Structure 1
Amino acid sequence: MEVAVKKVSHDSSRGMQQFIAEIVSIGKLRHRNLVQLYGYCRRKGELLLVYEFLSRGSLEKFIFPSHSDAASSSPRAILNWTQRFEVIKGVASGLVYLHEEWEKVVIHRDVKASNVLLDADMNPRLGDFGLAMLFDHGTGDALTSRIAGTPGYIAPEMTRSGFASMSTDVYSFGVFLLEVSCGKRPVEIKTSSTGEHLVYLVDLVLSCWRKGTILKTIDPNLKSEYVVEEIELVLKLGLLCTHTNSEFRPSMRQVMQYLNGDAALLQTDLWALETSDTINRAFAGPRAHLGDLYPYGVDSITTGSSSTPDVSVMSGTR
């Protein structure tokens, strides 16, 4: 049986015993949209997590074409809108399970396209639980002394309080919705006559929504082959999920209801976006000094680029 092995670091403030206990608990998770964790191996101060192997690899390869693809005679396939919408709903379903349907609350803390893996039939599974935290239902948020996640996906309140919650996962999922729909990374470096500057996807889409031009942010690789109502819903949900005030964000169950058509996203639901601020200063960009922006520490900060993997990945026969 083929497996994937990832080497991870852990937040030293949690302690290795607690960290391993949580990993063992996560190994009990069972959901069609979650990567199965088979076990772990502790060796020479390193912790190796053993996952099921998914043949198609990371979703980001099918969203962000690489420079080598452009020069290739057989470029990598780009997911069409129907496939992307199914991926979105699958990841949402997995997060509902983590937040509400398992015996404990599981906060993933690193929801992003590169952590969504695809099987042979392009079915999505959310993976990489190396940063996940568990706590009992009804006990509130989890305090972490170290900020964890990937710059561009981290909820602004995490940088101020150090508290992880279901709502901080919702924020990351909102960024995920936007990157899948727009085909852009959360933070990109643009060069102009005045030099380099950072472009934040959340701010870009929010600005276009306020101008009534939100559909201009859609990934041009989709070539107008999409259902307007679906992609507009996803873009607006992405903005709601990334509201700077966590109280205005929906729960993952509410998100799932919107995506399945069990509830309608009304104009009154979008009024909250008028109070959502641009959040450039809350994020560390690719070249920023993380320590200046994350006072709780950056031991668990990962990168989002496929060219700079955050963990070592191997595959082989178990």
Structure 2
Amino acid sequence: MSSLSSPVVVVGITIVVVLVALLSTIGYIAYLRKRNITKRKEFKDEDKKGIDVPFFDLKDILAATDNFLDSHKLGQGGFGPVYKGKFPDGKEAAVKRLSSASRQSLVEFKNEVVLIAKLQHRNLVRLLGYCIEGDEKILLYEYMPNKSLDSFIFDRMLCVLLNWESRFDIILGIARGLIYLHQDSRLKIIHRDLKTSNILLDGDMNPKISDFSLARIFESKQTEANTNKVVGTYGYMSPEYVLDGFFLVKSDVFCFGVIVLEIISGKRNTGFYQSDQAMSLLGELFQAWRLWKEDKVYDLMDQTLSETCNTNEFLRCVNVGLLCVQEDPSDRPTLPNAFLMLNSEIATLPIP
């Protein structure tokens, strides 16, 4: 009898151990899921108290965008697509759906929302709200009916809609927005991805700087930082950032200079190459510099501007644009100085 009972006891004990282990595993998984749900709820119910913009429910966003229908897509950025959303009260918004491949944590996402919510300036796109639910992280911005600046200045049909006065006002508006980011806001912010596609135009063609995905906050006395991963758009990134990973306020100044030259020429800067002697900028920067040296600077002008152009303002724009894209950051002006040079009637400006 004992010879039969021994295996039965062993089997019984084994079954009990397996069941206990299984139940423990199920219990632990349930605990983890509950903890994650609790964390998510805490972000919505507690952490959102530090955010100055409203939280939107995912179901409302899905309804406003027809479940992110392709026909509602406004564009595709490096961090995800942007859709036009229309809500029941008639309000419209640009809905930025962050890519699921993004490694941004909930804390990092909240910090980004808090940062953007604090930026209030007429030349910065306004954040209307945010959503985080499951794997979805979404930002809602004010909708810009005229989309981005690049869709006008690089399109041979639409560029005629921007006369010289409009383009000069856009340049000054971008400068005002950057001055606010660099010195007038409560936070000192380097944009790091300033380009014509990130300059949006409202119904009155006023420029608004957008997309702060790569923006970095600087301490009040901090002048530079570095990164091991260079991200941005070739043609706009400064030499010190491309080659060494260093970025500073003057890196945004470089981007501004590129944009100024693109606006007045209607041509896109294409990038760079590195030779044995030094870095050489290609595209419109090289062309602008060559024409400047040969005293043929009017050849740089977009021909659609020939009848409306203010020649004094045009020359100042070329001069300031070239000052801003100088290789050595210390040679570039600050944004406040660049703005003053663009607005002034000073006879002699610094020579790039």
- Alignment TM-score > 0.5, same fold: yes
Q: Partner letter of residue 230 of structure 2?
A: I
Query: Measured at CA, do residues 201 and 10 of structure 1 come closer, stay the same or move farther in structure 2, by a change above 3 Å?
Result: farther
Gaps of 5+ in 2: 1-90, 272-280
- Indicate if the aligned counterparts of 1:8 and 1:130 stay in contact, CA closer than 8 A: no
Deviation at 1:140, TM superposition (A): 2.1
Matched with 2:149 is 59
The partner residue of 1:148 within 231, 241, 255 is: 231
Q: Are residues 1:161 and 2:251 paired?
A: no
The alignment yields a C-alpha RMSD, in angstroms, of: 2.6
Q: Are residues 1:4 and 2:86 paired?
A: no
Deviation at 1:79, TM superposition (A): 0.2
CA distance in 2, matches of 1:246, 1:17: 33
The partner residue of 1:247 within 330, 334, 342 is: 330
Matched with 1:229 is 312
Deviation at 1:243, TM superposition (A): 0.3
Deviation at 1:22, TM superposition (A): 3.2
CA distance in 2, matches of 1:39, 1:242: 36
In proportion to residue count, which structure has more helix?
A: 2
Deviation by residue 1:157-211 (Cα, 9 ceiling, x = unmatched):
00222122111000000000000000001118xxxxxxxxx95111110111111
Matched with 1:294 is none
Alignment of 1:76-87 (within 5 A): 77-87=160-170
Give the secondary structure class of the aligned counterpart of 1:27.
Answer: helix
Q: Partner letter of residue 6 of structure 1?
A: K
Q: Which moved more, 1:111-120 or 1:84-93?
A: 111-120
Deviation by residue 1:5-54 (Cα, 9 ceiling, x = unmatched):
12346998986633531332121111111100223334565543211111
- Indicate if the aligned counterparts of 1:5 and 1:49 stay in contact, CA closer than 8 A: yes
CA distance in 1, matches of 2:213, 2:347: 34
- Indicate if the aligned counterparts of 2:191 and 2:214 stay in contact, CA closer than 8 A: yes
Matched with 1:301 is none
Q: Partner letter of residue 258 of structure 2?
A: V
CA distance in 1, matches of 2:324, 2:210: 20
Q: Specify which structure has the bigger relative contact order, considering alpha-carbon pairs within 8 angstroms and separated by 6 or more residues.
A: 1
Query: Measured at CA, do residues 95 and 208 of structure 1 come closer, stay the same or move farther in structure 2, by a change above 3 Å?
Result: same
CA distance in 1, matches of 2:138, 2:263: 29
The partner residue of 1:88 within 141, 161, 171 is: 171
Gaps of 5+ in 1: 70-74, 189-197, 274-318
Query: Measured at CA, do residues 10 and 150 of structure 1 come closer, stay the same or move farther in structure 2, by a change above 3 Å?
Result: farther
Query: Measured at CA, do residues 229 and 77 of structure 1 come closer, stay the same or move farther in structure 2, by a change above 3 Å?
Result: closer
Deviation at 1:266, TM superposition (A): 2.6
Query: Measured at CA, do residues 41 and 239 of structure 1 come closer, stay the same or move farther in structure 2, by a change above 3 Å?
Result: same
Task: Report % sequence identity.
Answer: 38
Deviation at 1:225, TM superposition (A): 2.2
CA distance in 2, matches of 1:50, 1:201: 34
Deviation at 1:62, TM superposition (A): 1.9
Q: Partner letter of residue 266 of structure 1?
A: T
Matched with 1:110 is 193
The partner residue of 1:23 within 109, 113, 124 is: 113
TM-score (norm 2): 0.66
The partner residue of 2:346 within 254, 260, 264 is: 264
Query: Measured at CA, do residues 146 and 49 of structure 1 come closer, stay the same or move farther in structure 2, by a change above 3 Å?
Result: farther
Q: Are residues 1:213 and 2:296 paired?
A: yes
Deviation by residue 1:197-229 (Cα, 9 ceiling, x = unmatched):
x95111110111111111111111213420101
- Indicate if the aligned counterparts of 1:187 and 1:201 stay in contact, CA closer than 8 A: yes
Aligned length: 254
Matched with 2:12 is none
CA distance in 2, matches of 1:9, 1:227: 44
- Indicate if the aligned counterparts of 2:195 and 2:259 stay in contact, CA closer than 8 A: yes
Q: Partner letter of residue 24 of structure 1?
A: V
Q: Partner letter of residue 346 of structure 2?
A: A
Q: Which moved more, 1:150-159 or 1:42-51?
A: 42-51
TM-score (norm 1): 0.73
- Indicate if the aligned counterparts of 1:110 and 1:150 stay in contact, CA closer than 8 A: yes
CA distance in 1, matches of 2:173, 2:98: 25
Q: Are residues 1:34 and 2:124 paired?
A: yes
